[in-house]
Amino acid sequence: MTRPNVLLVMADQMAPHFTGTYGHPLVSTPHLDSMAERGVRFDAAYCHSPLCAPARFSMMAGQSVSSIGAWDNAAELPASVPTMAHYLQDAGYRTVLSGKMHFVGPDQLHGFEERLTTDIYPADFAWTPDWAHAGDRIDKWYHNMDPLEEAGQAITTHQIDYDEEVGYTSRRKLLDLARDSDDRPFFLVASFIHPHDPYVARPEWWNLYDHDAIDLPDEMDLGELDAHSRRVRTGIQADTVGFTEAQTRNARHGYYANTSYVDHWLGQLMQTLEESGLADNTIVMFTSDHGDNLGDRGLWYKMTFHERSARVPLVMAGPGVANRTIPNVSSHLDLLPTLMDIATDGGDWAETTPDVEGRSLWPLATGGTDDVSETTGEYMAEMTSRPIYMIRRNNLKYIHCDTDPPLLYDVDADPLERTNLADDPDHAEAAAAFAAEVEQRWDSDVITEQVMASQRARHAIHRATDKIRGARSWDHLPANDVANHYVRNHQDVVDAALSSRLHVPAKETP
């Protein structure tokens, strides 16, 4: 077998808890279910940072937020930071991105040979937080309760428009790769925006669900919320504007519908692999950048290290992949090493990736063992004024912020994280060990100054560029080489027809 292709399908803000694949009784995800039934499902996978851009940048680079300065949704991923696309391109792969990656700055490729669509979000510094005024809302782009009011049905939205484009271009690219004479393996990322709020779905997906059957969040005494959760509630106006039970059910209905919509596109792409003869030599991976609280703890969206915000689905299927579930803790930091193991057939690639912080999951994915069950997380964006760190090791999760009391949860025994064990005498030794580890791993004073220095610089640049008439946008402009599409005068019409034809694979011929 030649080196396998890799198709990485990403959702946005999809918590595994709200998929049929991970046991939700209502949510329909048949194509992801099918992947898990013939492949590997990772049951304790996390984003490194529970916010769109930092989650994606740390995944792409295989490095922590503080290592690469991926502080928030307006942080620039430096062009000097190598990504999984760079490493795979160097290893002989064709690298293609379709859809969202939330790159900020003038480098809108970061190692991808081709980028088929623009991004859905801006590439400039407009969304930069301000820790010098951490309690102030930035109404232009901070989350609030409007998405709950907007939740419902629509024929189309800007998000539906975007995902239709992402799905089409990804499917078309797979067909092009199948009929191309270039024999390099490919790495294609298809990255969708749904089920990200505002929870608006087309009728065919909305109507999959009985509205009255939509489940509501588990109850919790909001007076017992941790300090950061209270800040997030204030930041999104959940504690002032608030939300009703009807809005909660409506928003969840739209979220479930859009989860099924993304699953539909996953099915379309897997069908395209089958039809084009690529399936037998393509590993398919599915994940999300982070989750969504969906009303748990009185919270919506992301921005915390609680399970529904920070956990992500991670499923793999394809040649060489075993059929099993994996309880080991893992994270997005592990995807780059995993891809390098795939690209090099387990070869010696570590010397060329000295800064990568994760570990390869390929031994686990192919039926082997791994004694490691841990990961870390960092959050340095809005609604805090100091870094927040997370360590998940085996069944325990520890969360630290200099301004807040520590949090310690036994996630296996207490999956809703209702009981903070940080002051529990039976867990005193573990809490002390985690506290010491945080102090050893991170220098909060140094990191805080780095974050605030970056914010000051970005605010200054944005103020200036905002005043330039006709300032050139950093937003990606996809190439469209129409001079070589379909039939053109430099081609013979018969040759054009033959070269574009993709035959039915032999095994499917009657």
Residue 256 contacts residue 295 (beta carbons within 8 Å): no
Domain boundaries, the chain: 5-364
CA distance 250 to 206: 10
What is the number of other CB atoms lying within 10 angstroms of the CB of residue 152? 15
H helix count then E strand count, the chain: 15, 14
pLDDT range class, residue 509, cuts 50, 70, 90: very low
Structure confidence by residue, pLDDT tens digits, 2-12: 899 999 999 99
pLDDT range class, residue 168, cuts 50, 70, 90: very high
Residue 262 contacts residue 192 (beta carbons within 8 Å): yes
Active site residues: 52, 102
CATH assignment of 5-364? 3.40.720.10
Would you put residue 303 in left (φ > 0), alpha (ψ -120 to 50) or beta?
Answer: left
Most trustworthy range by pLDDT among 276-285, 465-474, 490-499:
276-285
- pLDDT for 85 beyond 80: yes
Helix, strand, coil distribution of the chain in percent, nearest 5 = 40, 15, 45
pLDDT on residue 510: 46
CA distance 214 to 24: 11
Structure confidence by residue, pLDDT tens digits, 277-330: 999 999 999 999 999 999 999 999 999 999 999 999 999 999 999 999 999 999
Among candidate residues 287, 375, 364, 374, the one with its CA nearest the CA of residue 325: 364
Annotate 456-489 with three-state secondary structure. Answer: HHHHHHHHHHCCCCCCCCCCCCCCCCHHHCCCCC
Structure confidence by residue, pLDDT tens digits, 365-424: 999 999 999 999 999 999 999 999 999 999 999 999 999 999 999 999 999 999 999 999
* CB-side neighbour CA atoms (13 Å) of 300: 28
pLDDT range class, residue 200, cuts 50, 70, 90: very high
* CB-side neighbour CA atoms (13 Å) of 69: 21
Query: Which helix (DSSP H) or strand (DSSP E) does residue 90 occupy?
Result: helix 84-90
β-partners of residue 8 are 189, 285
